[in-house]
Amino acid sequence: MPRLFHQPPKYRLHKSTKQAVVSFFGETLYIGPYGSRRSHQRYQELLKEWEKRRHQERPVAKLEDFDDACKTDPEKIVASITTATLREKVTTGIPVTINELVLVYRRHTRQYYRKNGVITREAGAIDDVLRVVRRHHGTCFAQDFGPVALDELREKMIDEMDWARTYLNKQVNRLRGMFKWAASKELIDGSVSQALRELSGLKKGRTRARETAPVVPVADEVLDETLKFLPDVVADMVRIQRFTSARPGEVCSMSPSEIDCSGDVWVYRPSEHKTEHFEKDRVIAIGPRAIKILKPYMDRQDGEFCFSPAEAERRRREAATKRRRTRASTGNRPGTNRVASPKRKAGDRYVTASYRRAIHRVCKKQDIEQWSPNRIRHTASTEIRKLFGIDAARAVDGHGSTSTTEIYAELDLNKAIEVMRQVG
């Protein structure tokens, strides 16, 4: 970015030293304690000096000076560090530092963890743990990073990041993934990655890391109470998710072009789903009750989504107009009091975050127990398992094994009580 000589230098705080600092024609000047009278007097003197010098002709840089600047340009140095150059460095006997490894691995993650051209949350979670390892071991050699160093770093994560135990275990596994990737690229010896696996995960009740409450089903009574106050579009999304046991993201991305309506039970094959990168197909059956709710949303153009925030906003305005008591000839006419260029406009589809916020907003306003859309899937899975067994719940949820279904389908306590009543 070009340096703007027409703007006066700013009076800034240097946080680590609590000094006032000014960038003055390429030099960093400390002018005294931040906020002190002496520093402000010195700053005014520098402004006068800057006003004189800014109009003077600056010498033209020579080509040799430009070449030297390129050699010390941080951006050019960073661009020169690649997996290939690091591999060449290793072959000469010079080990790779963790800072260098983080640099090339982060480029890899931001290219690998993409869905439909957008960087996923997984890349952001990896960035979080990479910042921690850089802060404490950035200048260390990656080859020397072992289980003891990883264990000590994990303790520091507990103190500094306040991550929950289960999430902390996931972050440690993500860090292990970097060293596994480095071994596959021949940047470190494979024994380093293998040794890091020897460190076992944190166990419940045997660590200082905090625990989080498990995700449990949301009661149908709470759902029914919330549905009374939700916008019509969001309420229909909740009902369809409850009847189909779909994931929140699968409901948000529902499109008529992906739904087969030929049978009495419709079949929805989402192009976007959680396990698509594993080359697994996701098939969601839509029964009669869900079909009745979904039919009004099937009149869409190709590529459009069933549930749209823009449509929800339009319905809200129409309902407000119907409730209007002021005559149309007086007061604000519909559409006249809108912002010409709003900062945020209603989009053409919901995402999991906006879907969740719409529910949380109503729960908070109406003083209802707050719940998230992912809990609806737990509720539906538990009911299906209770009525038809765990294999049926696995088939509906699209899980590869019943062990995954166990997470979503809660055990039926009443059935256990009845068994113990007879045999216990």
Same domain (yes/no): 229, 191: no
Q: Considering only CA atoms, which of 19, 21, 29, 25 is closest in space to residue 3?
A: 25
Residue 371: is it exposed, middle or buried by C-beta count within 10 angstroms (0-12/13-18/19+)?
A: buried
What is the domain count for the chain? 3
Of residues 6 and 44, more confidence is placed in 44
Same domain (yes/no): 370, 232: yes
Residue 35 included in any domain: yes
Neighbouring-strand partners of residue 33: 19
Q: Which domain holds residue 52?
A: 12-61
Same domain (yes/no): 186, 309: no
Residue 419 included in any domain: no
The per-residue pLDDT for 408 is: 61
Whole-angstrom CA distances from 211 to 154, 162, 351 are 15, 10, 28
**Phi/psi of residue 15, nearest 5 degrees:** -60, -40
Same domain (yes/no): 250, 360: yes
Full strand arrangement of the beta sheet holding 12-14: 12-14, 19-24, 27-33
Query: Worst-scoring range by mean pLDDT, 3-7, 49-53, 189-193, 284-288?
Result: 3-7
Q: Considering only CA atoms, which of 246, 143, 139, 118 is closest in space to residue 196?
A: 143
Same domain (yes/no): 252, 381: yes
Same domain (yes/no): 233, 97: no
pTM of the full structure = 0.67
Q: Would you tell me how many other CB atoms lie within 10 Å of the CB of residue 79?
A: 9
pLDDT tens column, 289-332:
999 999 999 988 888 899 988 888 888 877 777 777 777 667 67
Same domain (yes/no): 279, 379: yes
Query: Is residue 66 pLDDT above 70, yes or no?
Result: no
pLDDT tens column, 10-59:
888 888 778 888 887 767 888 888 888 888 888 888 888 877 776 554 44
Instruction: Give SS3 for 49.
Output: helix
Assigned token pair, 25: 């024609």
Of residues 396 and 352, more confidence is placed in 352
- Torsion of the alpha carbons at 171, 176, 181 and 187, rounded to the nearest 10: 130
Q: Would you tell me how many other CB atoms lie within 10 Å of the CB of residue 291?
A: 17
CATH number where 108 lies = 1.10.150
pLDDT tens column, 93-116:
889 999 999 999 999 999 999 887
Same domain (yes/no): 226, 182: no
Residue 418 included in any domain: no
CATH number where 370 lies = 1.10.443.10
**CB 312, CB 231: distance < 8 Å:** yes
Round to whole Å and give the CA distance between 108 and 105. 5
Alpha helix positions (H), 228-308:
232-244, 248-252, 288-294
Residue 342 included in any domain: no
pLDDT tens column, 87-96:
998 888 889 9
Same domain (yes/no): 81, 53: no
Same domain (yes/no): 186, 310: no
Same domain (yes/no): 244, 391: yes
Same domain (yes/no): 21, 84: no
Residue 125 included in any domain: yes
The helix (H) or strand (E) run that includes residue 285 is strand 284-286
Residue 134 included in any domain: yes
